[in-house]
Amino acid sequence: MTVPTDAESPYGRPARDRTVLQALVDEPGATLEQLAAATGIAARVLAPTLWRLEEERRVVHEAHRWFATEE
């Protein structure tokens, strides 16, 4: 899977999405805590991001583990 690029600000939602998706490509099946440690994003910010990405069908979760979907 290739992580989509975006011309938006590096501090906004698109950059956070790319960071999370790249972390899931690098480490599939990571838990929320593992993703928070890998990305440097606080778990309280990361959780709603993952839920939104799940609604957009860009990630899926099984139990407490998250996976990037194939594009």
Domain locations along the chain: 13-68
CA 65 vs CA 14, 31, 35, 47: distances in Å: 22, 5, 10, 12
Reported as a pLDDT band with limits 50, 70 and 90, residue 61 is very high
Instruction: Write the CATH number of the domain with boundaries 13-68.
Output: 1.10.10.10
Bridge partners (DSSP) of residue 66 are: 30, 61
Which whole number is the average pLDDT over 37-45? 93
pTM beyond 0.95: no
- Are the beta carbons of 20 and 46 closer than 8 angstroms? yes
Residue 11 — pLDDT band, cuts 50, 70, 90?
low
Quick: pLDDT tens for 22-37.
Answer: 999 999 999 999 999 9
